[in-house]
Amino acid sequence: MGSKEPHKPAAKSKAPPRCPRCGYNQSGEVASWVESCPLRLRCPECGVDFATVRLFRPAPIAIAGPLAGRRISGKLLIRTIIFGAFILLVIVTAIQSALAP
């Protein structure tokens, strides 16, 4: 906070920060932050007001199947896949034990 140098995004961030509505590149706004970042921003292109954290949080993943049309986070998708695999394993094990002589 004592530094007067502009904020520089982390090196691992490959995609520029974009407006969640119109996709306008917010790199210029991020570069203008000197001491701290604001909690909310307004896009100069479309005028939408949004939380600054939305610039850096990954977007939810669109999926197909029973949840088609909904957007879920990557963590939820991974947990759903693991849970589905576990249920499938339980079912297969139950069938194998029922068929075993």
Q: What is the pLDDT of residues 21-33, one digit of tens each?
A: 888 898 888 888 8
Q: Summarize pLDDT for 65-99 with one digit per residue, the tens.
A: 666 666 667 788 888 889 999 999 999 999 999 99
Domain regions of the chain by residue span? 1-57, 61-99
CB 61 within 8 A of CB 72: yes
CB 30 within 8 A of CB 15: no
Residue 1's pLDDT is 47
17, 39, 40: which is closest to 28 by C-alpha?
17
